[in-house]
Amino acid sequence: MKRLSSSSLLFPLTLSLLLGGTGFWLNRATDIKIEDIELNPNEPQYVLLDISAARFDEKGMLKDNLTAQTAQMYPKSDEILFQKPVATVRENGKPLYNLVSDNGVYHTKEKWADFTGSVMITHYDENGGVTGQMTSPTLHIDNIGANTQLPKLDNTAPTQRIKTVIYDVENIKTH
């Protein structure tokens, strides 16, 4: 059996020390020190222009979509502010409700939304015909989620003008 010389053992040991040292140096050289910078609470942290968002059902059909002129979120806030939001809720890919307003606020943790300024909600039948419209200066919707439904509007009057608060699917209050 052949005995290894000290020089043949020295090469792999030197190579591993050099590679280990280089790895340690690269790790130290690339460390990034992150400093927390306090953001101005009066200026938006995020601003999105001409947004469009869509959600699809389990069959891949468009379930609902939202467009808005702008969306803003402020630091340490759970609210998203929208200008000129337009939301459409669909059933089997066809429009069921359409909501248009001047402004909107969506609370991301508590799942509620407020719409203000010339709020109009339109209900469509399965053929796309308008079955009812409601206009209001404000609209509040609680419990926004997968099962949220908007009020069924009848066609007794083409436009119903009421101030509305929607607390859940069946509980609608006017004041």
pLDDT tens across 15-58, in order? 888 888 888 888 887 877 777 788 888 899 989 999 999 888 88
Among 73, 77, 95, which Cα is nearest to 86's? Answer: 95
Residues 111-131 have a mean pLDDT of 87
CA distances from 4 to 8, 17, 46, 90 (A): 6, 20, 65, 78
pLDDT in tens, 66-116: 999 999 999 989 999 999 999 998 888 889 889 999 999 999 888 888 899
pTM for the full predicted model: 0.63
How many Å apart are CA 61 and CA 25, to the nearest integer?
Answer: 53
pLDDT for position 118 = 86
Locate 123 and state its tokens: 């209900």
Domains assigned to the chain: 46-174 (2.60.450)
